[in-house]
Amino acid sequence: MHRRTVNGVRIAFVDEGRGEPVLLLHGLGGSHDDWRLQRPEFAKHHRVLIPDLRGFGASGRREPFTIQQHARDMLALLAALDIARAHVVGLSMGGAIAIEMALTQPAAVASLVLANTAPGFRLSSWERRRMAWLRVLLASLLGVGAVARFTGRGFFPKRGQGRLRRRLIRRASETSRWVYLATLRALTRWNAESRLHRIQAPALVLAAEFDMTTTAEKRRWAGRMPAARVIELPGSRHHSEQDSPERLNREVLAFLRAQAID
């Protein structure tokens, strides 16, 4: 792992491969390890950067943990590495950060891949509020590992996915409950839907068939972006990078090949 201090916090990150840079951003409670099934394939064609976001994995823990701050951190990391433009791939919360990066500094984002994400996570329905409250309760009382034990069955329900569930729980158990709760709170207060029309970068929206929001919902908000298209991943759930890595890798690499950086 490499380390750079940006915006007053030390960010740990993978940096390998050659070619046009691709930045891979994990979701809430995750780390660079979430992209382990993409890392070798992508590095055959690209310079691959996979950070642990502020507060997660091996990176420093320093507030704030907002989507806007994560976006500023990632833009600063690119600048520190003398990378003027990069392709940005984000899963779940990582997709929110990718969107915010494209809005904050459009020239730095050559293209976007937004996997199983949304332009806002406000608690706009009873079901969303129930799930958020349950996560807060579990994390507060039992730690982030308890949240992963609860969600793991839904993310990886199939026979033969026990190893994926255990890895999810092990990684989440290493996450600070303070960081998790602060980040969750910030995530539910962030919304960029009214700003999507400003994103000019080509975008690929990946929609798992059994994600927490429907493909129809993703098509609705993706339609507000001038250069976005949606692909559904059949049979996949929220962690498509792990339950459908071959299909995800194929779709993302094909998209990136068509988006050469000037």
| Domain range annotation of the chain | 2-121+192-257
| Single-letter amino acid code for the residue at 99 | I
**Pick from 131, 122, 135, 126: nearest CA to 29:** 135
Q: Is the pTM of this model over 0.85?
A: yes
pLDDT of residue 125: 67
At residue 216, does pLDDT exceed 90?
Answer: yes
pLDDT (tens digit, 9 = 90+) per residue, 104-133?
A: 999 999 999 999 999 997 766 667 777 778
The span from the CA of 250 to the CA of 227, in Å, is 20
pLDDT tens per residue, range 7-39: 999 999 999 999 999 999 999 999 999 999 999
Note the CATH number of domain 2-121+192-257. Answer: 3.40.50.1820
Does the pLDDT at position 206 exceed 80? yes
Measure CA 215 to chain center.
17
Report the distance separating Cα 243 and Cα 237, nearest Å: 7
Residue 3 DSSP SS3: strand
- Edge-to-edge strand list for the sheet holding 203-208: 2-6, 9-16, 47-51, 21-25, 86-91, 109-115, 203-208, 228-233
pLDDT band at 74 (very low <50, low <70, confident <90, very high): very high
State residue 66's pLDDT score: 96
Residue 92 falls in which region: left (phi positive, over 0), alpha (psi -120 to 50) or beta: left
Residues 143-191: tens digit of each pLDDT: 888 888 888 888 999 989 999 999 999 999 999 999 999 999 999 999 9
